[in-house]
Structure 1
Amino acid sequence: MGRRSDHTREELHAMIVREGHRQLSEVGFARFSAREVAKRIGYSIGTIYNVMGSLDALMLAINGHTLDLWRAALEDRLAGQSENRLAQAIAAYFDFASHHRHAWTALYDFRLPENEVPPPDYTARVTAITDVVVREVAAALPPARRAEAQPLARSLLATVHGHCFFALNGTFRLLGETDPLAAALARVEDAISAH
């Protein structure tokens, strides 16, 4: 039986997200279990649902934590860099994905039902990380083309993501690509040069 009054609701929320993230990072989205999270923190599954509201809300909280970690890693990588910042951002993308593979893929594997939209705090976390990318793309463009940074950044994110995903799942190895990061950098440089 769980320790029903040992922690405040806020403490429980933090414990659940922390343990959920740890477990997700270890076993991946397909094998993730809210029941196992409850067991590991010493509470019942009912407590998880009482605090989080639903499994979807739990996954959004865990994925939000991953986004926070990712943004911090990206900003840390860019801190103090004055040259090749876009290349550093792309390398940070690959590094984060490879070091947090299960948590990173869960960002894309988990989906809300079609008729539901993510809560504003989750959307803000997604926007915060994409804003970093838009900022770096804008800085790489000539001043007259900086208004194009946002749509270009979305396309470049898709390009980098595809290269990273193919690198992690072995597809590039099958295709004979030996340096997916360099290939992603080349495609991004091509797109920036075209602008």
Structure 2
Amino acid sequence: MGRRSDHSRDELTKLLVDAGTAVMAEKGFAAFSAREVTKRVGYTIGTIHNVFGNVDGLVTAVNTASFVEWSRTLVDYLDAAGEDRIAALVAGYFAFARDNPHRWAAIYDHRPARETLSPEQQEMRGRLMRIVAAEVATALDRPVDEALGTFARSLVATVHGHCSFAITGSWAAMGQHDPEAVALARVRESLAAAR
């Protein structure tokens, strides 16, 4: 296939992130292979080091792309929500995880080195929580401040726990059904208590 001179740095970045996303979706974080990524685009492993600094940088870029797509999923659900925007947030969270289980899990399984995350990547990753915090603030008729941000993250943790149990099959193994509805009920209870 190609040699380094065949693509610009931006083109290589996109090629590698797209291939890395495909490998992550197929194999998950534990079986993720940087060699498989470069093989798919016709480059050597050294290309990852030249473009991302190391494999951690590639995985960080792949997971950042997942955050961007996940944010788009939330926005799509919110756009179609009608008045029940909190239900749309929970549904969007579950939908992304259900449709992309390996990519969703990789976000939590990979701990990027602090220096690996660029300010731009931090901004892209943070959009997800900004969307959630804005909706929680609207539901509570409060401004987005530090306390509300902490509360919104706690709500995400609640939904995440239910979603994680659903994706791994633990929820069904406990004889429970409809984790999304139960997660939404817990969120509604928390919002009612916060009001």
State the distance in 2 between where 1:146 and 1:57 align.
Answer: 32
Q: Where in structure 1 do 4 or more consecutive aligned residues deviate above 4 Å?
A: 144-148
**1:96 aligns to what?**
96
- C-alpha RMSD over aligned residues: 1.7
Distance in 2 between residues matched to 1:173 and 1:132, nearest whole Å: 30
Residue matched to 1:30:
30
Q: Paired residue for 1:120? A: 119
Match of 1:158 in 2: 157
Counterpart Cα distance in 2 of 1:155 and 1:182? 18
Q: 1:36 & 1:134 partners in 2: Cα distance?
A: 38
Give the distance between the partners of 1:83 and 1:183, measured in 2 at CA: 20
Q: Kindly provide the CA deviation profile for residues 58-109 of structure 1, in whole angstroms up to 9, marking residues without a partner as x.
A: 1110001001101111111111533110111100100100001101100000
Unaligned runs of 5+ residues in structure 2 are none
Deviations 1:131-173 (A, max 9, x none): 00001111111x3686543121011000000000001111111
1:182 aligns with 2:181: yes
Query: Who is 1:10 aligned against?
Result: 10
Query: Deviation digits for residues 21-62 of structure 1, max 9, x if unmatched?
Result: 011001111111111111110011111211111111111100
Alignment length, in residue pairs? 193
State the secondary structure of the residue aligned to 2:112.
coil
Distance 1:80 1:170, change over 3 A: closer
CA distance in 2, matches of 1:190, 1:44: 52
User: Per the alignment, do residues 178 and 49 of structure 1 end up closer, same or farther by CA in structure 2, a change over 3 Å counting?
Assistant: same
Give the whole-Å Cα distance in 1 for the aligned partners of 2:143 and 2:174: 35
Structure 1 counterpart of 2:52: 52
SS at match of 2:176: coil
Shift in alpha-carbon separation, 1:144–1:165, aligned structure 2, 3 A: closer
Identity of aligned residues (%): 45
- 1:132 aligned residue: 131
8 Å contact kept, 2:133–2:144: no
